[in-house]
Structures are given as C-alpha cells and as structure tokens.
Amino acid sequence: MLKMKNSLSVIVTFVSLFFVYTSNSQILEPIKWDIKVDSSFFDNKQSLNLIFKPTTELGWYIYSSDNDPNSGPRTEFEFNSNKTYKLKGDIVPKNVKTKFDEVWDSEVRYLDNSGYFLQTVDLIEDNISISGFISYQVCSEIEKMCIPLEKDFIFFNDIQSVSQDFNEDLLAFEEEKSLLSFILFSFFAGFLAILTPCVFPMIPLTVSYFANKKNNKKPFLDAFVFGISIIIIFTFLGVFLSMLMGPQSANELATSWIPNILFFLLFVA
C-alpha cells in the first residue's frame, strides 16, 4: 500500500510539472514592446517622433490610450520630465480597431499587432535622456483573461547619431526592478502568508509537537533542523524548477488549480 502511494505521488508530481511547463510556455510573455525613432520624421534636430510598438501573441490585444475609461482601462504612458526634452502634445495611437466588448457592454478601442503609439518630443539638448513607464492591460478572448502589466523604458542618445541613422534601435527596457525592494517585498509577503488559513493553524501544532518532547535540548535541535530543512528543500526546488522550466514555474505549480486538485486527491486517497 505504501509503495503504491509513493508511486502515485511520483506520477502526480510529474503530471503537475508537465502541466506547469506547457501552460507557462503559452502565457508567460503575451506581449513585447519595440520602441524606435520614426525614420520618416526628424525636424532639423528640433523634434522627433518616438514609436512604441506592442507585439502580442495570437489572440491577445491591449486597450488604446484614447479608449473610454468607462469601457475598459486605457494604456497610459508616464514620462519622467528632465531638462533634455519636452513632450509635444499627447501620445497618439495608430491603426486603432474597435469592437463590441460583452464584458463592458460597449464599444472598445484596442490595438493588435498592426497598431502602435506615437509621441512627438521637442529636443532641448543634444544628449537626450527620456525615461518612464507604460501601464496597460493585455487581454485575450481565447484565454478569457486580462493581465494588468507595467513596463519601464529608458531612451538615451546623442542627437548627432540619431540624425545619421534613424532605424537604429535606441531604447532599452529596464525590466528588472531593484533587487533590494524585491527582497523586502518577499520578506514581508512571507509574514503575511503566516495568516493564511492553511498556515496559521499549523503553528500551534508544530510548536506543541517539539515542546512536548521530554529531552529539553533535543526539541530545539529538532526544530532548528526542521526549519533549515524546509528552507533548503524549497530553495532547491525553486532554483531547479526555474532553471528547468522558467522563473514562473514554481508559482504556477503552487497556484494552478490542476496541480492543487491532484495533490488534494493524493492526500485524501
């Protein structure tokens, strides 16, 4: 009976990992951004056009920047002001499409792979530095879901080089946030996780298990080994799954409904 349950545990684990791998590869990155200088417009080194081009996977789209806020969230561009440039007018969406959205019960304006956003910038200095972020929501009628996202961008170049080669990619996205802020966020999120229904009741059970031992020294050693073992095991699993299937695989395994149902059936069997 024990061997059968161990075999079932191995099967459930491999099935769950396979599901995580396939689902993770499909929706991990439904959109990518490409930002360039418009090669058809360059006003004597006085102004230029920036093109923000979203490329989505099949069936995905984003709402336009001029969409009615009562009919879905707009795509918003936030520029950090400095002395090297000045925005000229609002950002303009191009090749916008419209459709009736049953969720919002109204017409919505959206962009697919044929659309892009254009922003005119007045140049104050030759060495320009433009940065900011894009807040948007990418949706899919196939997946029946929407994902709110935010993307940082930074642009810097000498205007002399821009005038010589318009088609050169001049922008690089800063996708990684501060490592310290991520560590602090994870630390406090771990404390909040203690209050969840599946964790909080285990605290008195675990404490009483080690406290009720007769040997006064052994409980502290056992508790220490128990805690360190949890850290080592989950760290190893997280690193292993990230290297094998990507950084989101462990999260997919923990939050997806299929692996959780499979583990539920395993434990109640």
Within this chain, do residues 15 and 98 fall inside the same structural domain, yes or no?
A: no
Other CB atoms within 10 A of residue 229 CB: 10
Predicted local confidence at residue 249, as pLDDT: 66
Within this chain, do residues 65 and 108 fall inside the same structural domain, yes or no?
A: yes
User: What's the DSSP call for residue 216?
Assistant: S
Within this chain, do residues 167 and 262 fall inside the same structural domain, yes or no?
A: no
Q: Tokens for 165?
A: 């080669």
Task: Yes or no: say if 112 and 170 are a contact pair by the CB < 8 Å rule.
Answer: no
Per the document, the length of the chain is 269
What is the extent of the structural domain holding 229? 2-26+213-268
**pLDDT 10s digits, 33-60:** 988 877 555 555 678 888 999 998 888 8
As for how many domains the chain has, the answer is 2
For residue 267, name the pLDDT band (cuts at 50, 70, 90): low
Within this chain, do residues 21 and 104 fall inside the same structural domain, yes or no?
A: no
Other CB atoms within 10 A of residue 202 CB: 10
Using the predicted structure, report yes or no on whether residue 148 has a pLDDT greater than 50.
Answer: yes
Within this chain, do residues 59 and 33 fall inside the same structural domain, yes or no?
A: yes
User: What's the DSSP call for residue 72?
Assistant: B
Using the predicted structure, report yes or no on whether residue 172 has a pLDDT greater than 60.
Answer: no
Using the predicted structure, report yes or no on whether residue 167 has a pLDDT greater than 70.
Answer: no
- The answer to whether position 184 is within a domain reads no
Strand 171-172 with 116-123, pairing: unpaired
Cα 123 to Cα 86: distance, rounded to the nearest angstrom? 7
**Mean pLDDT (whole number) for 65-88:** 90
Please provide residue 58's backbone torsions phi and psi, each rounded to the nearest 5 degrees: -55, 125
Within this chain, do residues 63 and 152 fall inside the same structural domain, yes or no?
A: yes
Within this chain, do residues 235 and 149 fall inside the same structural domain, yes or no?
A: no
In percent, the amount of the chain with pLDDT more than 70 equals: 71
Q: Tokens for 149?
A: 């996202």
Q: Which domain-ending residue is among 153, 175, 197?
A: 175
**pLDDT 10s digits, 181-235:** 767 877 888 778 888 877 788 888 887 877 776 666 677 788 888 889 988 988 8
Predicted local confidence at residue 26, as pLDDT: 46
- The answer to whether position 187 is within a domain reads no
Q: Which domain-ending residue is among 175, 196, 221?
A: 175
Name every residue whose Cβ is closer than 8 Å to that of residue 114 and which is 6 or more positions away in sequence. Answer: 95, 97
Average pLDDT of the residues of the chain: 76
Q: Which domain-ending residue is among 120, 147, 175?
A: 175
Cα 244 to Cα 241: distance, rounded to the nearest angstrom? 5
**Mean pLDDT (whole number) for 57-71:** 89
Predicted local confidence at residue 185, as pLDDT: 78
Q: Collapsing DSSP states into helix, strand and coil, what is residue 230?
A: helix
- The answer to whether position 165 is within a domain reads yes
Q: Tokens for 258?
A: 């299929």
Please provide residue 17's backbone torsions phi and psi, each rounded to the nearest 5 degrees: -65, -35
Side chain identity, residue 179: L
**pLDDT 10s digits, 88-107:** 999 999 999 999 888 788 89
Predicted local confidence at residue 30, as pLDDT: 85
Within this chain, do residues 12 and 137 fall inside the same structural domain, yes or no?
A: no
